[in-house]
Amino acid sequence: MLSSAALVFSCLVLNGLVLASPVAQSSGSGSSLTVPIRKSVSITSGHNVVDTGHARAQSFRGRAAGQQTSASSTAKRQSVGVKNEAITYIAQVSVGTSKQKFNLLVDSGSSNTWVGANTTNAYVPSSSSVWTDDIVIVEYGSGYFFGYEYYDTLTLSNALVITNQSLGGASFSQGFTTMDGILGIGPIALTDGTILGSTAPVFTVPTVSDNLYTQGKISNEVVGVAFAPTTGASNEPEGALVFGAQDSSRFVGQITYVPKETDYWGINQSISYKGVEIMATSTGVIDTGTTLLYLPTDTFNSYIASTGGVFDEATGLYEITEAQYNALEDLVFNIGGTELPLTPNAQIWPRSLNGNIGGAQGKIYLNAVSTEPVNGLNFINGYVFLERYYTVFDTTNNRVGFAATSFTNATSN
Ligand SMILES: *[C@@H]1O[C@H](CO)[C@@H](O)[C@H](O)[C@H]1NC(C)=O
Ligand SMILES: *[C@@H]1O[C@H](CO)[C@@H](O)[C@H](O)[C@H]1NC(C)=O
Ligand SMILES: *[C@@H]1O[C@H](CO)[C@@H](O)[C@H](O)[C@H]1NC(C)=O
Ligand SMILES: *[C@@H]1O[C@H](CO)[C@@H](O)[C@H](O)[C@H]1NC(C)=O
């Protein structure tokens, strides 16, 4: 508790120093604008975690399939509620002149930012709040919210204060029980069709990253996501969102960039296991709102056959024995010609959290599950990947970057 408070405090101090010259920073300088992310662990069932990811994949797929037609016809479906997740990544923000505090899910798979899911912490407009005359509705597959769309001051940290941020104040929401709403760090295209304008035909609303950039708080429109694996220790390393520049203390070596594919933060990658390519280069999504690793059915079947995993009814995941665990090899992601291995330890559910998903102590469950592949959505790299590789969502250059971290080879699971 104390150490995480100290970490938050040191980030705020750092941001305070950066504030003096917010646009003078450069990539690689480490003078980044950091927002701490708290990891929240709850108890659910493994089936719920798997199903939530499937529902999310289903809504991604709906949009990917509809991409050739009008964007706005499919845009409202973005992702799903997260009430059934065992782990969620939460950023605390404050809104308005009253500095009302909200705990928001960090979501790269959607782009509207909104508050008020917790009705006992409903949004209270302050003197900085202006109603836009619009209504906002976002469907998230198995959840949704609607409410009034405001402009208000959104404070992410001392240095990251956005004036006039488009912000939904929920009148009603469903599917969000452990958070106050969402901090949407997806691309602006995903807001298309979410606003019902009464005065003007509004189609998209600028995201938090868009406004940080246009208001000169950051000199490149990028956000880096630093997640850390769950250790089960009381001083868990937590995560961070790094806006505007690269924070070189958060990764090691070079960042590999690949072009962004699809309206989501999508990329192309191939996957090999034990020297055999089990997924040819295809397109899928990098998602801070999905826990597990979703692989196309054929790829998943090859992987399971090689590992010897057996379906476990209690969790909905595949279980392996200790001997099979010892025989695991790296699951190698090839992204833009660079190999990013997921170590054996990174391929298994954190054993300290077995009980949180209905599993038994001492058992070993694989993090991968299968998904029905469609064009544009063949895989989802969820937390299990993001906790091992620093990930950069770069709007300015329309690309996504990855770098190894001190957690890439960690054996915390
Ligand atoms: C907020 O943004 C809206 C839309 O861009 C604009 O009409 C309004 O004047 C802005 N308000 C302030 C205080 O900047
Ligand atoms: C909802 O908000 C109230 C008041 O801030 C807080 O006490 C409660 O813990 C919140 N509930 C959840 C599930 O976050
Ligand atoms: C990514 O893969 C898709 C097919 O899934 C292809 O159309 C596209 O050109 C690829 N992008 C790059 C940069 O190779
Ligand atoms: C992880 O381990 C591999 C194999 O020992 C090594 O090549 C690589 O540099 C390590 N990566 C990091 C980030 O420590």
Residue 84 has a pLDDT of 59
CA distance 154 to 73: 29
Burial class (CB in 10 A: 0-12, 13-18, 19+), 329: middle
Active site residue 107: yes
DSSP letter for each residue of 229-286: ----STT---EEEEESS--GGG-EEEEEEEE-BTTTTEEEEEEEETTEEEEEEEEEEE
CA distance 345 to 283: 25
Residue 199 has a pLDDT of 64
**Amino acid letter, residue 381:** N
The answer to whether the Cα torsion of 296, 273, 266, 142 is positive or negative is positive
Ligand 1 close to Cβ of residue 203 (< 6 A): no
Question: Distance from CA of residue 230 to its chain's centroid?
Answer: 16
Domains annotated on the chain, with CATH: 4-223 (2.40.70.10), 248-404 (2.40.70.10)
Q: What is the pTM of this model?
A: 0.88
Q: Within 13 A of 242's CA, how many CA atoms are on the CB side? A: 24
Active site residue 298: no
Ligand 2 close to Cβ of residue 21 (< 6 A): no
Residue 50 has a pLDDT of 84
- What does the angle CA 193 – CA 294 – CA 43 come to, to the nearest 5 degrees? 90
Please give the structure tokens belonging to residue 297: 């059915």
Among 205, 109, 197, smallest CA distance to 162 is for 205
Ligand 2 close to Cβ of residue 40 (< 6 A): no
Residue 244 has a pLDDT of 93
The pLDDT tens digits along the chain (413 residues) read 223 333 222 222 222 222 222 222 333 333 458 898 888 877 777 888 888 888 888 888 777 665 533 333 333 334 444 555 778 899 999 999 999 999 999 999 999 999 999 999 999 999 999 999 899 999 876 688 999 999 999 999 999 999 999 999 999 999 888 899 999 999 999 998 899 876 666 788 999 999 999 999 999 999 999 999 988 777 777 799 999 987 889 999 999 999 999 999 999 999 999 999 999 999 999 999 889 999 999 999 999 999 999 999 999 999 999 999 999 999 999 999 999 999 999 999 999 999 999 999 999 999 999 999 988 899 999 999 999 999 999 999 999 999 999 999 999 99
Ligand 1 close to Cβ of residue 164 (< 6 A): yes
Q: How far is the CA of 231 from the centre of ligand 2 (A)?
A: 26
Residue 83 has a pLDDT of 52
Burial class (CB in 10 A: 0-12, 13-18, 19+), 353: middle
Phi then psi dihedrals of residue 253, to 5 deg:
75, -155
Residue 198 has a pLDDT of 66
Q: How far is the CA of 356 from the centre of ligand 2 (A)?
A: 21
- What does the angle CA 369 – CA 302 – CA 348 come to, to the nearest 5 degrees? 45
For residue 133, which ligand has an atom nearest its CA?
1
All residues at 6 or more sequence positions from 105 whose CB lies less than 8 Å from its CB, including other chains? 82, 88, 89, 90, 176, 179, 181, 182, 183, 289
Phi then psi dihedrals of residue 2, to 5 deg:
-60, -45
Which residues form ligand 4's pocket by a CB distance below 6 Å? 252, 404, 408-409
Q: Which of 152, 210, 287, 394 is catalytic?
A: 287
